[in-house]
Every structure is written in structure tokens, then in C-alpha cells.
Amino acid sequence: MASIETELQPFRVPNYVLVCRETGLKQDGLKPQAGIPLKDIPNKTLIQMCDDFKASVLSKARADRGNE
């Protein structure tokens, strides 16, 4: 069996995190979503967010692979 080697790009690292907010009224128009720069987020929060992201990626990979 032949194999093909592929170089993968790493996940993109954002410059900020988005703030969850309630959706506004349609007649008020679109409002830009607020973001907080990574440098302003406490390390403990960043670590938890990274751990959550890692768990989500691995869970998605397992779900997409089925029962290998």
C-alpha cells in the first residue's frame, strides 16, 4: 500500500476571546461582538479554556472516527 505524507498546519491561535452576550433586537441592527485580548485573561482561565478546547477536539475526532 502506498502512503502520502502531508504537513499539517497547527490550529490558529486567536488574539482575543469573545464575550458571550444575549442577542439583541433585530431593529437595533448588528452590534460588533466584544472581545478581550488574551493578555488580559487570567492564566487559570486560559488554561481551563485550552483544556476544554483540547477535550472538544479529541471528542470530535473520536466521534468522527466511529468505532475504530
Distance CA 11, CA 48 (A): 17
More confident residue, 28 or 50: 50
Tens of pLDDT, residues 25-49: 777 776 777 899 999 999 999 999 9
What's the chain's average pLDDT? 86
Distance CA 60, CA 57 (A): 5
Judged against a pLDDT cut of 60, whether residue 21 lies above it is answered with yes
Q: How would residue 60 be classed by pLDDT, with cut points 50, 70 and 90?
A: very high
Residue ranges per structural domain of the chain: 16-65
DSSP state at residue 16: E
